Amino acid sequence: MSAKRMNFIFNEQGQVLALYKDTDIQDYSDRICHLNFRTANHSATFQSDHFYTMLKRYGKLELSTVIDQQIWSGSLVFICSVSGDVPAEQMLLTLHGVSGQITKETYHSVLPLSPSATYHLDLKLSTIQNISPNVAILTGFSPEIIQGQADWWMKQIHPEDKSKYLSHIEACCECRDDHFYGTEYRFCNFQGDYIWLADRARVMFDPESQEPVGLVGCLIDISEIMKLYNQLVSLTAVAPGMIYQYEHTSDGQISFSYMSPQVQTLFGKTADEIKNDIKQLFNAVHPADRKRLYRSIIKAEKGQKEWKCEFRVLNHGEVRWLYGHSVPVNMNHFRQVWSGLLIDISDKKSLEFKLKRESTTDPLTGLFNRRYFMNMLEETFDGGVKQLPVSILAVDFDHFKQINDQYGHDVGDQVLRQVATGMKQNLRKTDTLARVGGEEFSVILPATHYKDALRIGEKLRHYVETMVISYQDFNINITITVGVASSDGHLAQKELLIRADRALYQGKSSGRNRVM
């Protein structure tokens, strides 16, 4: 059929009186089985012999129908024809062909094989005009119950999903190409239970006005998929961290196909905000940890092995520690997909730092203890003692027992605290000062020759000799003796410590308050 418009004049009995001469179609008036119409408050399906009654009641009617496999939409209005002294009211039906065609062969052969149901929705009438028989399998409702009933489909949609469905229709109508739009919503089936339907539709336009007049689409039952999705949502809601899926393509594109809601707790950004600008995620990483984090990711991707890393993030000015763990789930030359988990380990790291601090710190002076000193000395040797000199200062208080005996142990503790603080202030940031015994202290001087070490030792000795320790009503003076030993790469760690102790005892034997 090549015509895009049909024009009929009906009398009160629903008989065709005339067909417009400018059409090149045959008389299809006897093929009109029924028409669907809708007004603001009513909708119905009726045959031509009811046109007059319905039009008299409602005025102009908007109509749609399917004639000979073609979808048509139009209107019915009164016209007057004067015959003698009696004016006779007649009705003009104008139908426009709508893009798209529905064939009986397609319905009866192909569609029953599909798990989906296809439909045609008339936008003007808000009525589903045609829907495939599969809808009975999906919803329990037969096509005859659904077709021709204005707003029937909308009434079956869950109240919380109605606005989403209307937005879906609006998006379809605004589209000016063949793009398909989709949405998901809950639908009340024949048994009164809500099922999940995926609705994918494309708009049809009036060929003359180019106005959207209908939608053609398909429906699929996704209840099982949504059940699994809701289970995933429930599990992620109680997960101890953020679950995600990360993709990296060969052209350098990075994206997150999924992020659980915990991303906002960890990074202060929603999943949508990060997906729109993934740089926000990496910018939240602490500057001191970015390079290390990046290298760990690259290493895991190259080796196609699981990724593990601890790093800090800045969330609204607060520093938080995260632990990340992911495994590859799809690896090829073009696309790498990783599934992983990020957990906030700030409390764990805080406890870890506290325990480490307690295990390496002297509780009285706040300096490092013997354990830390020995570990640091070992690291210094392992880190390049063969290339750079290392010096050790062995420091001991002179006649410290007399202070405890004369003033008490509280005064002795105060002397140790004040002298320790003063010595630390007179050392370099690279030096390590530790309390290794009761009144014994040791200093690691990295990259320091023997003469420079003597000078530093003398600086400490002079500082302690001239300081006055005030505690309650007491003003106390004390001196120290310092033993110095240096290694140019030929001495082992143990030998260096022995030499420093020997120098210390030489200083003690020769009168104390000196550097040897």
What pLDDT, in 10s, does the model give residues 72-88? 778 888 886 555 454 56
The total of other beta-carbon atoms located within 10 Å of residue 400's CB is 18
Average pLDDT over residues 388-412: 91
Task: Domain of residue 173: give its range.
Answer: 108-226
**Do 395 and 479 share a structural domain?**
yes
Which domain-ending residue is among 66, 100, 134? Answer: 100
**Do 324 and 184 share a structural domain?**
no
Lowest mean pLDDT across 52-56, 166-170, 184-188, 197-201: 52-56
**Do 321 and 425 share a structural domain?**
no
Q: What is the pTM of this model?
A: 0.52
**Do 322 and 269 share a structural domain?**
yes
The pLDDT score that the predictor gives to residue 442 is: 96
**Do 413 and 316 share a structural domain?**
no
**Do 209 and 124 share a structural domain?**
yes
**Do 382 and 323 share a structural domain?**
no
**Do 330 and 463 share a structural domain?**
no
Residue 380 pLDDT class (50, 70, 90 cuts):
confident
The pLDDT score that the predictor gives to residue 81 is: 58
Average pLDDT over residues 232-259: 85
Residue 386, pLDDT above cutoff 80: no
Q: List for the chain the helix, strand, coil content (%; round to 5).
A: 35, 35, 30
Residue 278 phi/psi, 5° resolution? -65, -20
Question: Could you tell me the CATH number of the domain that includes residue 179?
Answer: 3.30.450.20
Residue 397: inside a domain: yes
Residue 4, pLDDT above cutoff 80: no
Encode burial over 17-44: b for 16+ CB neighbours within 10 A, e otherwise.
Answer: eebeeeeebeebbeebeebbbbbeeebb
Lowest mean pLDDT across 105-119, 322-336, 433-447: 105-119
**Do 302 and 365 share a structural domain?**
no
Residue 111's nearest CA partner among 76, 88, 78, 143 is 143
Residue 2, pLDDT above cutoff 50: no
Catalytic residue among 439, 458, 465, 495: 439
Residue 356: inside a domain: no
Q: What is the mean pLDDT of the chain?
A: 84
Strand partners, 119: 131, 217
Give per-residue pLDDT as tens, 204-216: 888 777 888 889 9
The pLDDT score that the predictor gives to residue 383 is: 58
**Do 73 and 178 share a structural domain?**
no
**Do 332 and 394 share a structural domain?**
no
Which domain-ending residue is among 63, 78, 100? Answer: 100
Residue 217: inside a domain: yes
Give per-residue pLDDT as tens, 343-372: 999 999 999 888 888 889 999 999 999 999
Indicate if 439 belongs to the active site. Answer: yes
**Do 118 and 219 share a structural domain?**
yes
Q: CA 274, CA 147: separation in Å to the nearest integer?
A: 44
Residue 262: inside a domain: yes
Residue 386: inside a domain: yes
- Structural domains of the chain, count: 4
Residue 437: inside a domain: yes
Residue 233: inside a domain: no
The pLDDT score that the predictor gives to residue 83 is: 53
Give per-residue pLDDT as tens, 26-63: 556 656 656 766 554 555 667 777 788 878 777 777 77
Which domain-ending residue is among 326, 348, 370? Answer: 348
Residue 70, pLDDT above cutoff 70: no
The pLDDT score that the predictor gives to residue 361 is: 92
> Greater confidence, 270 or 179?
270
